[in-house]
Amino acid sequence: MRAFTQHQGLVAPMDRSNVDTDMIIPKQFLKSIKRTGFGPNLFDELRYLDEGKPDQDSSQRPLNPDFVLNQPRYEGASVLLARSNFGCGSSREHAPWALDDYGFRVIIAPSFADIFYNNCFKNGLLPIVLEEKVVDQLFQETEETEGYQLAIDLEAQTVTTPSGESFSFDVDSFRRHCLLNGLDDIGVTLEDAELIKSYEEQRRQTAPWLFNAGQ
Amino acid sequence: MAGKTLYDKLWDDHLVKQREDGSALIYIDRHLLHEVTSPQAFEGLRLAGRKPWRIDANLATPDHNVPTTDREKGIEGIVDPVSRIQVETLGKNCDEFGILEFKIKDKRQGIVHVIGPEQGATLPGMTIVCGDSHTSTHGAFGCLAHGIGTSEVEHVLATQCLVQQKMKNMLVKVNGQLGKGVTGKDVVLAIIGKIGTAGGTGHAIEFGGEAIQNLSMEGRMTICNMAIEAGARVGMVAVDGTTIDYVKDRPFSPRGETWDAAVKYWRTLHSDLDAEFDKVVELEGSEILPQVSWGTSPEMVADVTGNVPDPAKEDDPIKREGIERALKYMGLRPNQAITDIQLDRVFIGSCTNSRIEDLREAAVVVKGRKVADSLKQAMVVPGSGLVKAQAEAEGLDKIFLEAGLEWRDPGCSMCLAMNADKLGQGEHCASTSNRNFEGRQGFGGRTHLVSPTMAAAAAIHGHFVDVSELLN
Ligand code: SF4
């Protein structure tokens, strides 16, 4: 996995709460058996005026001029500023894949849905929870200042504004460790293979019904 | 020291290793797979030269992309080539690694959350995961069950474990009795309406209280299924006689002495009387009326006797904007009566409500009646091949067909419209599924979440009606 240590980038504001995974990447694009190529269909129904189809050249489609990511000032944004309960809905990892493929590295919101939050870490994408009033402030500053950038430091656990104001954020230490070092967590788990085997053996004895194959 | 909750017990029994940083390795007893979220995980395994840790813990079936007509054609019947590749890929992956798969023409094929319990592959006390957020369904059996992403699917395949943080405990208690025509679906929609779509975030919810205990396993599954719509990855109900009766004699259930030992253990799977919860919410069963969602989030629900909200009366500006946006998308007026919403289609199906009891409840309502002329379509999609066969043995298919509803083959179907079943732009649908997000059932489609009883009554009338009156 790609490591994440520090990042500075242009901020795009997604001013709506409960952004669900169907909105982030609509289901017709989940038919792909690959992990990449979802970027052009990120927020597809909001971003384009027509109905998107898989395997279509999206560069020819009519854009919705009202959608925030279509505004020239947010072109090249890599930090997404969002509202509460971002990523609610399904478990589809295609949602972080699409955000990543589009070019986002960080998402900042007052809260995230659990599964989405977890999926981000598996893909080198950093979800940051900041207090509602801080997020409000960042929204205001982003909208007021063209070219507004934020600097994120995972090691220090801080988000810093252009004026030098800094906000700290929490992240649990295992996830932080994996992300900082770009670790493959399957490899980390397999270091405990013996422990898993002995747990399994003991369960075979005490709860044999868990090991039934169908009849 | 306080006693343990059901979640605490399940967690402790599956803990392989507590790490110093607060994360833990949790053993997974059952892993369910479907075609949409697994291909990249299998690909990852192959690229890393890894093998599945324990083949017989896995059970797979295609459900999201399968057509609900012409099933005898098998994979050839999938018109969309991209969908077909996905279903074929699942088949190839399962064959390569020796994983049991109920393929498209197998009688046992169905929606993954329907077939697990049906096969007894879902047993009380298990940890169950699947690359699908509605895995919470299996918690109805006193399981620790939740959805995972594709990277975690790969992790479970490779290690039979997951790295987890322990969640907080939440109890949602529904006291007393439910009224006539009020089902598990109405209960869970009422709960989500009360606590919101983020009300359970970070928590494992246990559903308890008299009204829950009186529900059948189907009703409990419906409730746990939608825990995720309340923000909780995990929903659970304690094990009791109803649970044990349900799992008896299923293909994967234990037999003989092992059965007796299992039952003895399963009887311990409830929260201790002195267990403490981080959060408790109570509802009165008798106050819950049939529910209808009017907006684009599952928390946007109203009693069938109620009205669409008026954004002008909402003080919170973000909420007001949310209501305005939802009403615009849904094509509804502020204060419009719920029973005035005219429908174009009716969908009875999905992992929330496609089990035999759901179909029986719908059949009671439509029996001897006819679908309203104003509807373009009303369809029933059973949750599995076995549910379909059971319904046909009971004559339910005839009741539906005579009333003018379509009787389809099993799959996810119009729940998320990845196959050919979908809503047209602007169409209103009474749906027994679980998500009413924009575009969920088709581009521009308008979903109203309801129970099978309510959907069936809506099919007859062409608009919503209060089934509690109808059934009296
Ligand atoms: S029926 Fe709907 S919610 Fe359930 S697994 Fe299928 S698509 Fe997901």
Residues B142-163, mean pLDDT to the nearest whole number? 97
The token pair at B317 is: 């500006």
Residue A214 scores a pLDDT above 70: no
CA atoms within 13 A on the CB side of A75: 4
> With an 8 Å Cβ cutoff, is B297 touching chain A?
yes
Same CATH topology for B1-288 and B291-470?
yes
Closest chain B residue by Cα to residue A87 = B231
**Touching A: B residues 298-327, CB under 8 Å:** 318, 321-322, 325
Question: Which of chain B's residues have a Cβ under 8 Å away from the Cβ of A200?
Answer: 27, 54, 160
Domains of chain A (ranges plus CATH)?
Answer: 6-183 (3.20.19.10)
Residue of chain A whose alpha carbon sits nearest to that of B101: A214
Query: CB burial class (10 A; 0-12, 13-18, 19+) of residue A170?
Result: exposed
Distance CA B459, CA B453 (A): 10
B325 to chain A: closest CA residue: A16
Q: Could you tell me the pLDDT band of residue B1, with boundaries at 50, 70 and 90?
A: confident
Supply the ipTM of this predicted assembly: 0.92
Q: Measured between CB atoms, which of B64, B150, B258 is closest to A209?
A: B258
- Token pair recorded at residue B419: 């196959």
Over 60: is that where the pLDDT of A215 sits? Answer: no
For chain B, percent of residues with pLDDT exceeding 70: 100
Q: Domain B291-470 is of which CATH architecture?
A: 2-Layer Sandwich (3.30)
Atom number in ligand 1 closest to CA B435: 3
| Alpha carbon of B82 to ligand 1 centroid (Å) | 19
Chain B partners of A98 at a C-beta cutoff of 8 Å? none
Give pLDDT, residue A1. Answer: 82
Stronger pLDDT, A55 or A51, i.e. the higher one: A51
Q: Spell out the residues 6+ positions from residue B137 whose beta carbon is closer than 8 angstroms to its own.
A: B113, B116, B117, B145, B221, B224, B225, B235, B351
User: Would you say residue B65 has pLDDT above 80?
Assistant: yes
Ligand 1 pocket check for B440: Cβ under 6 Å? no
Question: Over 90: is that where the pLDDT of A184 sits?
Answer: no
Q: For ligand 1, say whether the CB of B387 is within 6 Å of any of its atoms.
A: no
**CA atoms in the 13 A half-sphere facing the CB of B126:** 34
A185 against B41, higher pLDDT: B41
B364-385 mean pLDDT: 97
Mean pLDDT of B349-364: 98
Query: What's the gap in Å between B138 CA and the centre of ligand 1?
Result: 14
Indicate the average pLDDT of chain B.
96
Q: Which of B12, B31, B64, B201 to mutate to test the interface with A (most CBs of A within 10 A)?
A: B201
**Ligand 1 centroid distance, CA of B133 (Å):** 9
Asked if residues B365 and B355 have their Cβ atoms less than 8 Å apart, the reply is no
pLDDT digits (tens, 9 = 90+) for B112-125: 999 999 999 999 99
pLDDT confidence tier of residue A193, bands split at 50, 70 and 90: very high
Q: Is B111 near ligand 1, meaning CB less than 6 Å away?
A: yes
Q: Is the CB of B206 under 6 A from ligand 1?
A: no
Q: How confident is the model at residue B2 (pLDDT cuts 50, 70, 90)?
A: confident
DSSP state of B20: T
| A27 contacts on B by Cβ (under 8 Å) | 416-418, 440
Return the amino acid letter for B205: I
For chain B, percent of residues with pLDDT exceeding 90: 94
Model confidence over A151-168: pLDDT tens digits?
Answer: 999 999 999 999 999 999
Query: Which of the listed residues B115, B384, B434, B440 should we mutate to test ligand 1's pocket, taking the one with most ligand atoms within 8 A of CB?
Result: B434
Q: Do A16 and B197 touch (CB under 8 A)?
A: no
Q: Is the pLDDT of residue B370 over 90?
A: yes
Q: How far is CA B143 from CA B11, B279, B341, in A?
A: 10, 20, 39
- Which chain B residues are within 8 Å of A113, Cβ to Cβ? 198, 201, 231
Residue A11, beta-bridge partner list: A79
pLDDT (0 to 100) of residue A158: 98
Domain spans in chain B, listed from the N-terminal domain onward: 1-288, 291-470
Query: Given this structure, which CATH class describes domain B1-288?
Result: alpha beta
Q: Which of B32, B38, B64 to mutate to test the pocket of ligand 1 (most atoms within 8 A of CB)?
A: B64
Question: Quick one: average pLDDT of B170-197?
Answer: 97
Ligand 1: centre distance to CA B78 (Å): 18
Q: Can you tell me the mean pLDDT for A170-196?
A: 94
* Closest residue to atom 5 of ligand 1, CA basis: B351
pLDDT at B471 over 80: no
B413 Cβ below 6 A of ligand 1: no
DSSP letter for each residue of B365-399 = HHTT----TT-SEEEE--SBHHHHHHHHHTTHHHH
pLDDT tens column, A82-119: 999 999 999 999 999 999 999 999 999 999 999 999 99
Task: Confirm or reject: Cβ of B300 under 6 Å from ligand 1.
Answer: no
* CA–CA gap between residue B4 and residue A198 (Å, rounded): 25
The DSSP call for residue B420 is S
